[in-house]
């Protein structure tokens, strides 16, 4: 649910944690989860339940109703998390939250000025390996003209690094769509797909609200894939915010 770096930063503010904000669940982080859970009577709970209690406390502190803080992932906690994710989509990160965002593409708020009218200025990009959309072979995808050459370089790099067999094995050829003029799911702003500057991959195994514990593309073997995009300035919502691991976009958050 909530990524470890975010929880570590929050626990530091609450004086539960004084280690590095590194996203690693080591002894200090587990001890901090224990301290947080102890405030609601959870000192004897298993580690996983203590972490969930910490996430509930975090969401509650941010103004979201989780019901009872009991370390159990129920309907209210799920609704609170979804509301938190929706709010995050409309929030620009602070400078120290930015991890993989070189100054290549505009920020989301500047996308209309940079890319122009939604749904326009599209070109078809041919891929150097086979990709599939809902089981059907796709030979070309529609993207904005300003990102087309960048995307081509990434696809060539992915083929070079993985090869066709590994691409198929890892599901890097399962396409979830690019151009789609619509609002963000759960948000009030226009989706980056509206300009053809976002691409989704293997959506069934990287669902919107899944974090790194569930998303397929959060595994170590996918790091070269993300780094190929990041080298061109594209942003992974999974790598930045730990949700929507299917999504890559040519716009900074």
Report pLDDT for 16.
95
> 45, 61, 89: which is the final residue of a domain?
89
Tokens of 50: 């203590």
Sign, CA dihedral 101-103-104-106, equals positive
Is residue 95 a part of any domain in this protein?
no
pLDDT tens digits, one per residue of 138-164 = 999 999 999 999 999 999 999 999 999
pLDDT tens digits, one per residue of 193-251 = 999 999 999 999 999 888 888 999 999 999 999 999 998 989 999 988 888 999 999 99
**φ, ψ of residue 115 in degrees (nearest 5):** -100, -15
Is residue 98 a part of any domain in this protein?
no
The answer on 118 and 79 residing in a single domain is no
For residues 247 and 178, what is the distance between their CA atoms, to the nearest angstrom? 10
The answer on 112 and 83 residing in a single domain is no
pLDDT tens digits, one per residue of 98-144 = 455 556 788 888 999 999 999 999 999 999 999 999 999 999 999 99
The answer on 191 and 131 residing in a single domain is yes
Neighbours of 223 (CB within 10 A): 13
Side-chain-side CA neighbours of residue 78 (13 Å): 6
Residues 6+ apart with CB under 8 A from 234: 105, 150, 154, 248, 249, 250
Neighbours of 175 (CB within 10 A): 20
Is residue 94 a part of any domain in this protein?
no
The answer on 82 and 138 residing in a single domain is no
Is residue 101 a part of any domain in this protein?
no
> 55, 89, 123: which is the final residue of a domain?
89
Give the number of domains in the chain: 2
Asked if residue 95 has pLDDT above 50, the reply is no
The Cα angle at residue 191 between residues 190 and 192, in degrees rounded to 5: 120
The answer on 76 and 117 residing in a single domain is no
Report pLDDT for 2.
81
Report pLDDT for 98.
46
The answer on 218 and 131 residing in a single domain is yes
Report pLDDT for 117.
95
Report pLDDT for 91.
54
Sheet holding 247-249, edge to edge: 175-177, 198-201, 247-249, 235-236
The answer on 189 and 66 residing in a single domain is no
The answer on 73 and 163 residing in a single domain is no
Tokens of 100: 């993989």
Is residue 36 a part of any domain in this protein?
yes
Structural domain of 61: 4-89
Is residue 140 a part of any domain in this protein?
yes
* Contact between 148 and 123 (Cβ < 8 Å): yes
């Amino acid at each position: 649910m909530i990524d470890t770096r975010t929880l570590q930063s929050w626990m530091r503010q609450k004086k539960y944690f004084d280690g590095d904000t590194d996203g690693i669940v080591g002894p200090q982080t587990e001890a901090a989860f224990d301290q947080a859970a102890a405030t609601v009577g959870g000192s004897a709970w298993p580690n996983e339940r203590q972490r969930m209690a910490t996430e509930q406390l975090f969401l509650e502190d941010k103004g979201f109703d989780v019901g009872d803080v009991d370390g159990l992932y129920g309907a209210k906690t799920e609704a609170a998390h979804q509301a938190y994710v929706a709010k995050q989509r409309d929030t620009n990160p602070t400078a120290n939250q930015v991890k993989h965002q070189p100054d290549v593409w505009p920020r989301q708020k500047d996308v209309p000025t940079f890319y122009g009218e939604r749904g326009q200025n599209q070109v078809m990009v041919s891929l150097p390996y086979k990709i599939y959309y809902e089981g059907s072979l796709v030979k070309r995808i529609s993207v904005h003209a300003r990102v087309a050459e960048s995307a081509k370089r990434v696809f060539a790099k992915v083929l070079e690094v993985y090869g066709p067999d590994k691409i198929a094995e890892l599901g890097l050829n399962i396409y979830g769509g690019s151009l789609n003029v619509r609002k963000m799911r759960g948000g009030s702003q226009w989706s980056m797909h509206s300009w053809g500057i976002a691409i989704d991959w293997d959506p069934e195994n990287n669902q919107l609200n899944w974090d790194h514990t569930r998303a397929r593309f959060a595994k170590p073997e996918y790091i070269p894939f993300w780094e190929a995009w990041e080298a061109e300035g594209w942003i992974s919502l999974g790598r930045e915010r730990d949700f929507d691991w299917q999504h890559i976009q040519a716009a900074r958050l």
